[in-house]
Amino acid sequence: MTDLMVQERQVEILRRLRQDGRVVAATLASLFGVSEDTIRRDLRDMATAGLCERVYGGALAIGPGRTTLKHRIGVAAERKKALAVAAVSLVPAQCLVYFDAGSTNLAIAEALPEDLAVAAATNSPAIALALQEKPLAEVILIGGSLDRVAGGSVGARAIEAMAQIRPDLCFIGTCGIDPDGALSAFGLEDAAFKQFVAARSRKVAVAATREKFEVSAPYAVAAADQYHCLLTEPDVDPVRLRPVRDAGCEIILAGM
């Protein structure tokens, strides 16, 4: 195989992970013509970024399996919770708020105060379940084809349903944040749906843990000037936040 740059190699590994659900370190090493050490480093980085699950001998895709999902929720749980607590303060009473699928937004939905009366829409079954626990929330479920990777409805039906509502505020999930502040996603349909939601919402907020800055996903979701508020962690490199702030986006730092 032709020599690839680091990012290219990692994207290719990710592709194979999605295709086969697993990769073997030794195989990848000979495939890319690099040492196993390098592959191990790739896999380690990708695992800390939450892109795969590291196992002895290689790595596994983060599948729909609840063990890995719980794992994904569990790893950065406290940090996500801290983000979530800050995020809910953005939600005014009596508004229509939309939660995009994703573990970070699930944390936000869980952190919603019990005594807050809002209409809450989501395309994620998991988030819908969490919202059901909030007695004063009117829950609106956005239907469509369920995307296993994204964890929520996407596609034509979802967009159709989404077209019926206009959220005052939406929390968009993102798989990666580019150096210029642009958001990206791993699925074509997922990205398209996020775009549509963002375009319909009066205010667009993005909550992202620090790992998101290390990841670049293939499909564009929104440039820095297309969302209004970024919640992230205090220890993110300020250089990465500069373009976002320059685009007129409010930046909220939360966490320990």
Partner DNA sequence: ACGGATAAACGTGCACAAACGGGCATTCAA
Partner DNA sequence: TTGAATGCCCGTTTGTGCACGTTTATCCGT
List contacts with DNA (CB under 7 A): 5-6, 9, 25-26, 33-38, 40-42, 44, 54-58
Look at residue 145 and give the partner it binds from a second copy, DNA, none, a contact being a CB closer than 5 to 8 Å depending on partner kind: a second copy
Look at residue 139 and give the partner it binds from DNA, a second copy, none, a contact being a CB closer than 5 to 8 Å depending on partner kind: a second copy
Q: Give 66 or 94: the residue with its C-beta nearer to a second copy.
A: 66
Least separation in angstroms between residue 40's CB and DNA is: 5
Look at residue 54 and give the partner it binds from a second copy, DNA, none, a contact being a CB closer than 5 to 8 Å depending on partner kind: DNA
The torsion region of residue 101 among left (phi > 0), alpha (psi -120 to 50) and beta comes to beta
Residue 27: phi and psi, rounded to 5, are -60, -50
Look at residue 34 and give the partner it binds from DNA, a second copy, none, a contact being a CB closer than 5 to 8 Å depending on partner kind: DNA
Chain length of the chain: 256
Tell me if 91 sits within 8 A of 117, measured CB to CB: no
**CB neighbours (10 Å) of residue 4?**
14
* Token output for 198: 């963002």
Least separation in angstroms between residue 133's CB and DNA is: 24
51 Cβ neighbours under 8 A, 6+ residues apart: 14, 17, 62, 215
* Residue whose tokens read 């795969």: 52
Q: Which residues bind a second copy (CB under 8 A)?
A: 5-8, 11, 22, 24, 53, 55-58, 60, 64-66, 123, 125-126, 128-129, 131-133, 135, 138-146, 148, 151, 153, 157-158, 161, 164
